[in-house]
């Protein structure tokens, strides 16, 4: 059932109903007992749709962030594989709340300067990096 719900969630990406329907699916996943173990699958969905809007912050982020700070290594791994607009934004949120920002800033900087990354994503990382370093 959990795999079916994750597939349904991915099928909705980019649809006008995503924000509303994703809340319903995340709720069902929680009812099915899904927890920390599906975070990598949620990041994988975002990686396959790097420019899509997942909400601000959206049901997926709310689900993942309940495991702060334990999910940070998974976020960093996802960003190193395939940074997305949404995971870069999540990283910025984590930097805002972190007492040890150096590793997170380093990841953000590596995305900002990588010319192989989609320009919209690297530009987003540059903007967040500028904000973090210069206020």
Q: Mind listing the pLDDT tens digit for each residue in 29-79?
A: 999 999 999 999 999 999 999 999 999 999 999 999 999 999 999 999 999
* Single pTM value for the model: 0.96
- Residue 103 main-chain phi, psi, to 5 deg: -65, -45
- In angstroms, rounded to a whole number, what is the distance separating the alpha carbons of residues 104 and 122? 15
- Provide the pLDDT confidence category of residue 135 given band limits of 50, 70 and 90: confident
Written as six digits, the tokens of 67 are 């495991």
């Amino acid at each position: 059932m959990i795999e079916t719900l994750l597939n349904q969630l991915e099928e909705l990406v980019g649809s006008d109903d995503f924000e509303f329907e994703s809340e319903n699916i995340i709720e069902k996943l929680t009812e099915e007992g899904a927890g920390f173990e599906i975070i990598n699958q949620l990041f994988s969905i975002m990686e396959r749709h790097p420019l899509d809007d997942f909400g601000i912050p959206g049901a997926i982020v709310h689900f993942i962030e309940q495991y702060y700070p334990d999910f940070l290594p998974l976020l960093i791994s996802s960003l190193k594989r395939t940074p997305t607009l949404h995971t870069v934004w999540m990283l910025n949120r984590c930097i805002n709340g972190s007492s040890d920002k150096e590793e997170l800033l380093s990841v953000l900087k590596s995305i900002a300067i990588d010319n192989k990354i989609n320009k919209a994503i690297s530009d987003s990382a540059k903007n967040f990096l500028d904000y973090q370093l210069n206020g």
